[in-house]
Amino acid sequence: MAYSPDFRAYPAAPSATASAVLDAGLRAYMLRVYNWMASGLLVTGVIATLIAHTSAMNLFYPLVQTPYGMARTAGPLAMISIFAPLAFVLVLSLGVNKLSRSTAQTLYWLFCAAMGASLTNIFLIYTSTSIVRVFFITAGTFAAMSIYGYTTKADLSRWGSFLMMGLIGVILASVVNMFMHSTAMQFIISLAGVLVFTGLTAYDTQRIKATYIQYAYAEGTEQAAKRSVYDALSLYLNFINLFMLLLQLLGTTNRR
C-alpha cells in the first residue's frame, strides 16, 4: 500500500518542520524525474548513434539505385521505427492506472530505444557537428525554462489551454505542409513549435511540482515511483520535440 504522509496527524509539530520535510521530498522527487529523463535521452542518443554509424544503418535505410546515383531510402524497419514510439506512448497513456511500476519503467526504456531508432535519419539530413551543437542549445533552453517553471511564483496553469491549442495548430499545419512542401511554411511551423515546447517545458515543470505538493508523494512508494516515470516522459517529449524543431531551424544540412 502506498504511504502518503499526513502532516495533520501531528498537530504538535511546527509547520516549519512539515514544510522542510515536504521540500526535501519534492527535491528528491524532482531529481528522480530528471534522472529518468536524462537516462532516457542517453538511451535514445546511444541507439541513434550506433545505428547511424554501423552496418545496422543498411537495415533501416538501405542503399538503392536512383536516376541520380546510389542513395539511401527508408526501408520497412525504418517505417516501423518511426511509428513505434507513438504506440508506446499510447500504451503508457491508456494504462496509467493499470500498469505496475516495473511495467511502466520497462515500457519507458523500450520507448526511448524506439525513439532512438526513429531519429537515426537525422544523421542523413544534418551534419554531426550541427546535431551536437543544436543538442547543447536545446539542453540550455530546456534547463532555463524548467528552472523558471520550478522557481517562478506566477501561476502558469492558465498557459495550459493556449499551449495545447498551439500544439494542435502546429500538428495540423505540419500535416498540411507534408503535401504543400512549403519552405516558408515549414519555417513558421518550426518557429511556432519552438515557442510552444519552451512554454510547455515551464508549464509541465510547475505542474509536476504542484502535483507532488498536492498529493505529497512519499519517497520510495509504488505510486511515486510510477508517477516519476510519467512525469519524466512529459519532459522527455518536450525536449525531443524542441530539439527536432531547433534542428530544422539551426541545423546545417548534410550535402554529401
* pLDDT at site 64: 84
Q: Is residue 77 part of a domain?
A: yes
Range of the domain at 220: 7-250
- Per residue in 91-141, pLDDT (tens digit) is 988 887 788 889 999 999 999 999 999 999 999 999 999 999 999 999 999
For residue 222, what are the CA distances in angstroms to 33, 39, 211, 212, 217?
A: 14, 20, 16, 14, 10
Q: Is residue 1 part of a domain?
A: no
User: What is the C-alpha separation between 256 and 249, in angstroms, rounded?
Assistant: 20
Q: What is the mean pLDDT of residues 167-174?
A: 92
Q: Is residue 208 part of a domain?
A: yes
| Alpha helical stretches, state H, the chain | 15-52, 57-60, 76-94, 101-118, 122-125, 128-151, 159-180, 183-215, 222-250
User: What is the C-alpha separation between 230 and 91, in angstroms, rounded?
Assistant: 12
For residue 231, what are the CA distances in angstroms to 74, 121, 122, 201?
A: 32, 27, 26, 11
CA angle 227, 231, 236 (to 5 degrees): 145
Q: Is residue 256 part of a domain?
A: no
DSSP 218: P
Q: Does the pLDDT value for residue 194 go beyond 80?
A: yes
Q: Is residue 203 part of a domain?
A: yes
Report CA 255 to chain centroid distance, whole Å: 29
- Structural domain count of the chain: 1
Q: Is residue 2 part of a domain?
A: no
Q: Does the pLDDT value for residue 19 go beyond 80?
A: no
Asked if 25 contacts 217 with a C-beta cutoff of 8 angstroms, the reply is yes
Q: Is residue 78 part of a domain?
A: yes
DSSP 253: B
User: What is the C-alpha separation between 34 and 231, in angstroms, rounded?
Assistant: 9
Q: What pTM, to 2 d.p., does this model score? A: 0.87
* pLDDT at site 69: 72
* pLDDT at site 131: 94
Which of 118-127, 207-216, 218-227 has maximum average pLDDT?
118-127
Q: Is residue 168 part of a domain?
A: yes
* pLDDT at site 11: 44
